[in-house]
Copies of this chain bind each other. A is one copy, B any other.
Amino acid sequence: MTTDASTRSSRDLPHPRHAEIRLEAVLHALSDPIRLQIVRELAVGGAELSCSHFDLPVTKSTTTYHFRVLREAGVIRQIYRGTAKMNGLRRDDLDDLFPGFLDSVLAAAARQAVRLGE
């Protein structure tokens, strides 16, 4: 039989559930400079931002890849809203699983940015 295309639209994105988020995967996701920068920007104001809002030194393909790594690690949540795809931090899940972790990473990144000359 043909595959049922109606059950799984190409537009819904698989996220790990709360209990499936692994610390090692989160650490790995944050260890890339570009991804860390994305997370830092998402943390400002806690707003949801579209992918195109970010000005990253890589192509669109690579940007998509980095957002996917963050999503599959459980760091961000991605949903389609019309033509744009909005990205938001999964702060609630992360704070529940790893209390204080995200804030300390963000603080450490901010500190280091200052230390290394913005």
Contact = CB atoms under 8 A, between A and B. Distances in A.
Given A22-B112, A23-B105, A100-B103, 18 more contacts: A23-B36, A23-B109, A24-B31, A24-B33, A25-B31, A27-B27, A28-B28, A98-B107, A98-B108, A98-B111, A98-B112, A99-B108, A100-B100, A100-B104, A100-B107, A101-B104, A101-B105, A103-B104
A35 B22 CA distance: 15
Given A24-B31, A31-B28, A36-B24, A99 B104 contact: yes
Contacts of A22: 112
A36 B33 CA distance: 20
Number of copies: 2
The residue in A22, A33, A97, A104 that gathers the most chain B C-beta atoms within 10 A of its C-beta is A104
A19 B28 CA distance: 22
A20 to B, nearest CB: 11
A89 interface: no
Given A31-B24, A32-B24, A36-B24, A108 B97 contact: yes
A25 to B, nearest CB: 8
